[in-house]
Amino acid sequence: MQYIKITFSNTTQDIKDYLIALLSGEGYEGFEEAEDQLFSFISLPDFNKAILDDIANENGLHYEIDVIPEQNWNQLWESEFQPVIVDDFCTIRADFHNIEVKTPFDIVITPKMSFGTGHHATTMLMMQMMRQMQFKGASVLDFGAGTGILAILAEMLGAGHITAIDIDPWPVENAKENIARNHCSNIEVFQGSLEDIPVVKEDIILANINRHILLKYMPDLFTRLKPGGKLLLSGLLTDDKAIIKTSAIENGFSFLQIKEMNNWIALLFEA
């Protein structure tokens, strides 16, 4: 399969954050940020130029389109993928990174086109908040697993069983590779959405997706948590805080905590 690479130039951080939020809801599966550029990726069959033109025109942006054959994808990522260190907590790197790891957790991923390499603020926020949570022996659902990085960290933190699910086949394939690479044995990966897996009461649900999906599935997320279970959400801008909190509370959750970074937020709730 071929992929489309969209390059937005002369973008501020606020614009990049805004574009990622918009495009992730339009089927774009990967993002990389440079100093004043945003690179966005989508499979050729899912690409809609009219939607892209509307977004660009509304925001006064210029973009360029490149078609990338699938066989060149790894080479592209390897040329751009840099290690990420989340505080003094966790290092995310590729196997070709020759660095000294000084954090207690070291996650090695194959840098393919799946969201969740640790570079984006939402992934970092999720990992920072996971550091404060109790995973020992917990059952965990990673909804919208992407690279599988959060599921892998959950196992490293002691989770007893993790179900990871993503609707797209590419992230599912990538997550399985990354899980094996990190020698994880407690993670099951499925392709689909929540309605495609049995309802199981979990201790923790992780969902780094987007506002639209989180609002749609909020009742189901509550149903799938044990009393006192924790729901950790991101993929959200600061402007999303009120509507997400309202939806969560209306569906039975109690709000516990918020963490912010670069206009993005992560929210923690309890069932």
pLDDT tens per residue across span 39-68: 888 888 889 999 999 988 988 899 999 887
**188-219 as b/e, with b when 16 or more CB fall inside 10 Å?**
ebebebbeeeeeeebbbbbbbbbbebbbebbe
111 within a domain of the structure (yes/no): no
Q: Please tell me the predicted confidence (pLDDT) of residue 44.
A: 84
144 within a domain of the structure (yes/no): yes
157 three-state secondary structure: coil
Give the number of domains in the chain.
2
Q: 40 and 162 share a domain?
A: no
pLDDT(145) > 60: yes
Q: 122 and 42 share a domain?
A: no
Torsion of CA 245, 246, 248, 252, to 10 degrees: 130
d(CA 260, CA 88): 18
pLDDT(115) > 70: no
pLDDT digits (tens, 9 = 90+) for 167-194: 888 788 889 999 999 999 999 999 999 9
Q: 229 and 164 share a domain?
A: yes
Q: 246 and 178 share a domain?
A: yes
Query: Which of 53, 76, 99 is at the close of a domain?
Result: 76
Compute how many other C-beta atoms are within 10 angstroms of the C-beta atom of residue 234: 28
d(CA 49, CA 1): 18
Q: 68 and 121 share a domain?
A: no
Q: 239 and 144 share a domain?
A: yes
pTM of the predicted model as reported, rounded to 2 decimal places: 0.77
CATH number of residue 35's parent domain = 3.30.70.260
Q: Please tell me the predicted confidence (pLDDT) of residue 119.
A: 64
Sign of CA dihedral 37, 130, 263, 55: positive
100 within a domain of the structure (yes/no): no
Question: Which residue is it, tokens 């060149």?
Answer: 72
95 within a domain of the structure (yes/no): no
Query: Which of 76, 91, 108 is at the close of a domain?
Result: 76
- Could you tell me the residue range of the domain that residue 210 belongs to? 116-270
